[in-house]
Structure 1
Amino acid sequence: MSTPMDGTVGLARLVQNASILRIATSVIVILLIRFFVRGFYRAYLSPLAHLPGPKISAATRIPSILASWKGEYHLYVGRLHEEYGDVVRITPDEVSFIDPQSWKDTQGRAASKTKGVKGSMPDKYWYRYGTSVNGSPSLINARNEQEHARMRRIFNPAFSERALKQQEPLFMNYVNQLVQILQEGIKEDPNRKFNLVKLYNFTTFDVMGDLTFGESLHMLDSGKYDPWVTNIFGSLRIGTKIGAMMHYPILWRLFKMLIPEKMMKKRYAHFQHSVERVTKRLEKGRESEGTDLWDLVLDQQEGKGLTRGEMDSNSSLFMIAGTETTATLVSGLTYLLIKNPDKYAKLKEEVRTAFQEQDMHMEAVAALPYLNACIKEALRVYPPVPNALPRQAAPDGSTVAGTYVPPGTIISVPHLAMYKSEKNFRRAREFIPERWLGDEEFKDDAKHALQPFHIGSRDCLGKNMAYHEMRLIMAKVVYNFDYEICPESDKWISQPTYTLWQKHPLMVKVRAANASQ
């Protein structure tokens, strides 16, 4: 039986609920008004409003974030450049350039002579996520130029041509092991399918493990990924998505509050693996048997060397930068050669007639013109780092490829979009190594647009090592084997990107070279 008091309580609740609804509605309306007003300002009134690009991308970062989450950011940027030209505004505060001059204006020495470019640094969001677990800087995330230069001077001797020649037996050991695994596999089963992505990764990670820690990861021996390496691959995908959230401070703070403790512990445990390996290597001191990275770095100490934290952070960096990118390139080149049999035939002819296998060494392989052209063309068609490593305009602004960019603007120079532009390369979407060998048809190509290792003081320290390793791997496998792609890998190169390519298995059948002649 209801009473007047029950009615009063019910009415009060209705009023209270109505008030909450009105407040919630007001908040939503205010947020929507703010969203549209800010979007209108960004698209039509901001200092970047005059630059070409879709108004929706100028108004909000949502299209860019959606593309990143789907692994299609490289396609998103490429489409915008195809439609709008060399300079495109791709987010409210980011401008992308594919004019080759952009390299010098943002990273080269010429930048110091260009208004405002000197001192411009990679985008703060990229650096924020790029901070090492232990807080110590590495070569890739040191913001201070003097700090970066000091570390670079210490590591330079370890990546010099002299050092690489000393390390040649180490490279040859693992490349020969790769060849042996393929030879034994086809002896056991001539119709066996091999996943070359996996085998190439095993090779490059074992090499870098030996160079960085003085001990192989033994993945070629076991035929399995080390769990530590598996975690690296998983972190790239997660890291890309986390990076997108960092553009929204409230969302980012909420995420950090809610992030599972288990995830953070996993990240620290992963980094600790590097710490333990470095400790083990340092305890050995100067090695007498051979020369790895630490033999040369320890020679540089005497009060001016690396802190222990810097050793750990850089070791972790080398195990990603010096492995996955190299394996990606040789995987891509293998696929492109198989899909272009005329180019594959030319390379086989060059490699198999240049020398006997026992005479194959770094200098001899480096002198093969068609092999070098194939590697360059693969770096153009399938660059291991397809997107940009963003920089930020200087406090007084920057001028890039003739376009003035206001202070604080994020500046991007995306690899894949630049290399696939018909303005820079004729028949840009085709794999044509001859363009690097003086073919008259490609005389107008902007060959200086190809900068897969970047330029300037922050170019890739290990580029010479990468070239030697790529040439040795490709020369060895092309000398010994013929590949036939399996149907399931026919469209292999269509892949998503999360910082790096998310490679599918590259399944091939292998025949010994002498069995194919």
Structure 2
Amino acid sequence: MSHATGVNFPDVIRQNGLYKVGILLLVALCLHLIGRSIYSAFFGPLSKFPGPKLRAITQLPRCWMILTGRDALDTVALHKKYGNAVRLGPATLSFVGTPEHWRDIYGFKGNGQLENPKDPQFFENPKNGQANLIYTSQADHQRQRRVISHAFADKSLRQQEQLLKSWADKLRTFLRQKIEAGETIDMVRAYNYTTFDVMADLTFAEPLYMLDKSEYVPWVETIFKAIRISTRIRAIKSLGKSIGAFINILFMRIPSINKRRLEHWGYTAKRVDKRLAQTPVRPDLWTRILESGGDPHAPESSFPIGEHHAIAAIFMIGGTETTATSLSGTTYYLLRNPEWMEKLKTELRGRFKSLEDIQFDQLTKLPILTACLKEGLRMYPPVPIGFPRAASSNCMIQDRFVPEGTSICVSQLATYRSESLFKHADEFRPERWLGDPEFAGDVLTALEPFSVGPRNCVGKNLAWHELRLLLTTVLVHFDLELCPESKDWNNQKVDISLHDPDFDDEDG
């Protein structure tokens, strides 16, 4: 009722038939959306890809799987049922990573083929609006990669051997002190303390001192919480572009989330600025970046300070927890398979008596060590989901046309649990990497934990040095035993890259 005019608007609408028209329009819209979904599921260009028909009609089932941390395992089950290509949603395809699938989705392009860009529904723009290696244009990525790759070249990393060994020594001291105190050791935390300290030292010329304090610093806790929050955001954004845009705006207005976001970026920026204002006593990652044309203060610099901040944030997420997760998974499976633990210890202790004897060159020549680490990455990939791309306008995957904008990915865990690629795929069998004839049919090139193509992980060399050095340090000096409560430790829910036993714990 309008008190000023005395007009009853609902009566006016009813008298003029507009009310009924509105209802009819709403019903028509709903029928249109339902009809379009059904057409897409049964007759659209993606209808030829197998998968549950409910998944082809609506994104809700996958949204729920992501929210509950079961997306990776659910995708494994779907691939086992439907094959190497599965339709996970109305416009979402997942592939088992045959070499051809890796190449067609992520690989270098030629002959007029366009790169499949990062899926904007999954990846977020850097919080400071600057380009970074993860989600940026092809031109910006190439420009940054040319500079940053020098810091992660094997020649540069070998100059960091003594620094990395000093952190391996700190890990050894940390474990020894815990043992002398009669404490049970959480190896996940021990590995995370180490990898975060290493990356902070390499990036900022100053560690976080977590091995000294035996606890996560608030900044790292914020990173872990951000990973959990981003999983929820990713799930809801998967429902559609409009919903995704709304959710981004909504979440950024939640004080606690915005506070964590600003704290993370503020802390990163402060550390980068402090590092750039000094000349460290030893070369670090930023030394090589500055030497290679990345000085933000140089005349006509093409690498502004904001990009340094954005890239440092990537280093502190992508080069830390993932390496610790790989070490944790490999250690767990070695403990669950004591015959391989003994074989590896025999190889390592036969070559090294202590940390002081360990050299990078020698570590790369140990076949059982490499086999166990590769099998650990296969059984427990640090990023078990797939990093999605948006299909380009001329996207072809094994001679099958995929419509532009379709979300496409190689699902890592589904790839590594595929019997078509790996015999006894659900078993920890390092001998597959040692030429055992039983596994002659394995497609070993399907293992790509660092992805492939022009946007693969720039820190791959560093990760391998850390994996070899830290696992060797632990097993040369200590005998480990799996706690009874950790027997089924691998059955965890997943936050994008964080295998999280406390998935449902809001406070982490």
- Per the normalisation by structure 1, the TM-score is 0.88
Within 5 A, what are the aligned runs for 1:501-512?
A: 501-504=498-501
Q: 1:277 aligns with which of 257, 271, 274?
A: 271
Q: 1:149 aligns with which of 134, 142, 145?
A: 142
Residues 57, 89 of structure 1: 8 Å contact kept: yes
Q: 2:52 aligns with which of 54, 78, 82?
A: 54
CA distance in 2, matches of 1:253, 1:471: 42
Give 2:3's aligned residue.
none
Shift of 1:140: 1.0
| Matched residue SS, 2:273 | helix
Shift of 1:89: 1.3
| Matched residue SS, 1:438 | coil
Residues 105, 409 of structure 2: 8 Å contact kept: no
Q: 1:467 aligns with which of 464, 467, 488?
A: 464
Residue by residue, what CA displacement relative to the aligned partner does 1:130-150 show, whole Å, maximum 9, x if unpaired? x1110001111122x221111
Identity %: 38
59 and 350 in structure 1: CA distance in 2 versus 1, 3 angstrom threshold: same
CA distance in 2, matches of 1:100, 1:56: 30
Give 2:284's aligned residue.
292
| Matched residue SS, 2:340 | helix
Shift of 1:406: 2.0
Residues 325, 499 of structure 2: 8 Å contact kept: no
Paired residues, number? 484
Residues 86, 93 of structure 2: 8 Å contact kept: yes
Q: 2:196 aligns with which of 205, 209, 212?
A: 205
**CA RMSD after TM alignment:** 2.4
CA distance in 2, matches of 1:123, 1:117: 18
Residues 42, 59 of structure 1: 8 Å contact kept: yes
Shift of 1:28: 6.9
Unaligned runs of at least 5 residues, structure 2? 1-5, 503-508
Residue 234 of structure 1 pairs with residue 231 of structure 2: no
| Matched residue SS, 1:427 | coil
Give 1:223's aligned residue.
214
CA distance in 1, matches of 2:105, 2:439: 27
CA distance in 1, matches of 2:25, 2:232: 28
Shift of 1:112: 2.0
Higher helix fraction: Structure 1 or Structure 2?
1
Within 5 A, what are the aligned runs for 1:296-445?
A: 296-301=288-293, 302=298, 303-357=300-354, 358-395=356-393, 397-445=394-442
Shift of 1:503: 3.3
Residues 117, 393 of structure 1: 8 Å contact kept: no
Give 1:118's aligned residue.
114
Letter in 2 for 1:369: P
CA distance in 2, matches of 1:132, 1:463: 22
CA distance in 2, matches of 1:23, 1:227: 57
Residue by residue, what CA displacement relative to the aligned partner does 1:54-107 show, whole Å, maximum 9, x if unpaired? 111111111111111111111221121111111111111111111331111122
Shift of 1:21: 10
CA distance in 1, matches of 2:10, 2:459: 69
Unaligned runs of at least 5 residues, structure 1? 1-8, 506-517
Residue 138 of structure 1 pairs with residue 138 of structure 2: no
| Matched residue SS, 2:421 | coil
Residue 264 of structure 1 pairs with residue 258 of structure 2: yes
Give 2:506's aligned residue.
none
CA distance in 2, matches of 1:13, 1:410: 46
250 and 148 in structure 1: CA distance in 2 versus 1, 3 angstrom threshold: closer
Residues 495, 501 of structure 1: 8 Å contact kept: no
Letter in 1 for 2:230: G
CA distance in 2, matches of 1:365, 1:430: 25
Residues 95, 101 of structure 2: 8 Å contact kept: yes
Give 1:95's aligned residue.
93
Give 1:107's aligned residue.
106
CA distance in 2, matches of 1:14, 1:403: 54
| Matched residue SS, 2:480 | strand
- Per the normalisation by structure 2, the TM-score is 0.90
Give 1:81's aligned residue.
79
Residues 353, 476 of structure 2: 8 Å contact kept: no
| Matched residue SS, 1:95 | strand
Residues 329, 384 of structure 1: 8 Å contact kept: yes
Letter in 1 for 2:487: D
Give 1:33's aligned residue.
31
CA distance in 1, matches of 2:13, 2:341: 73
Q: Higher mean Cα deviation, 94-103 or 487-496? A: 94-103
Q: 1:492 aligns with which of 483, 489, 492?
A: 489
381 and 234 in structure 1: CA distance in 2 versus 1, 3 angstrom threshold: same
Residues 195, 321 of structure 2: 8 Å contact kept: yes
